[in-house]
Amino acid sequence: MKVRILESILSANDGVATANRRLLDSRAVYCINLMASPGAGKTTFILAMARHLGGRLRMGVIEADLASRVDADKVAAAGLPVLQINTDGGCHLNAPQVTAALETMPLDDIDLLIIENVGNLVCTAGYDLGEHLKLVLASVPEGDDKPYKYPNMFGVVQAVVVTKTDLKPYIPFSSTEFAKALRGINPDAPLFELSATTGEGLDRWCEWLVKRLG
């Protein structure tokens, strides 16, 4: 019974997600569903991308948190269109919440929409929001074994970014071990390493993304 109810929730969500994707396609907006654990560096990464891509791509952001406008305020201060969703205890976004946010986003004025999902490596993986790319951000301080522990997340994404590489001198983290763990679950997703703070490695990620937008 539980399985059937979950299947029906997910299938209703998928229908709305497909409509979201169609809307985004019709307005030529490419959308990333950015997922990571709390504090991994999602907002800092978005702001670093905006600085790097400014002038080449017009970005918009949907922020999701259980409470507060902290992240939306940071993004707004950088001059980007942003909408904050508070999930009020919910551990992930769903497609209808994104539909409502899209109604107030200036879609004609943006090329790239980033959805910062709720900080969480578990339930966010299960919900299609209508994005074009599911991206997981892992950070050096979290350790190089995370793909083993969160196979659903690392298996479902089409790209992986390891951030906070500037902390490598202080924290035991092996890029080889991380790649080995990831490849056992997801052989194909491109893997990037960067520091959103120093900007090192941001180039390679941004060039890959720009090419993908075509």
Q: If we measure between CA atoms, which residue out of 48, 34, 32 comes closest to residue 164?
A: 48
Name the residue nearer to ligand GTP (CB basis): 34 or 107: 34
Give residues in contact with Mg ion (CB under 5 A).
42-43, 71
Instruction: Give CA 60 to chain center in angstroms.
Output: 13
Which among ligand GTP, Mg ion, none contacts residue 31 (Cβ within 5 to 8 A by kind)?
none
Site string for ligand GTP, 64-93 (x = CB under 6 A): -------x----------------------
Name the residue nearer to ligand GTP (CB basis): 92 or 164: 164
Strand order across the beta sheet in which 159-163 lies: 82-86, 59-65, 112-116, 30-35, 133-139, 159-163, 191-193
Task: Kindly provide the b/e burial profile for residues 113-137, where b requires at least 16 CB atoms within 10 angstroms of the residue's own CB.
Answer: bbbbbbbbbebbbebbbbbbbbbbb
Name the residue nearer to ligand GTP (CB basis): 20 or 37: 37
Answer yes or no whether residue 40 interacts with ligand GTP by CB under 6 A: yes
Which among Mg ion, ligand GTP, none contacts residue 84 (Cβ within 5 to 8 A by kind)?
none
Which among Mg ion, ligand GTP, none contacts residue 58 (Cβ within 5 to 8 A by kind)?
none
Answer yes or no whether residue 42 interacts with ligand GTP by CB under 6 A: yes
Contacts of 142 (CB under 8 A, 6+ apart): 37, 40
- Give the interface size with ligand GTP as a residue count (CB under 6 A): 17
Burial label, 51 (beta-carbon count in 10 A; 0-12, 13-18, 19+): exposed
Q: In the complex, which residues of this chain contact ligand GTP (CB under 6 A)?
A: 36, 38-44, 71, 119, 163-164, 166-167, 195-197
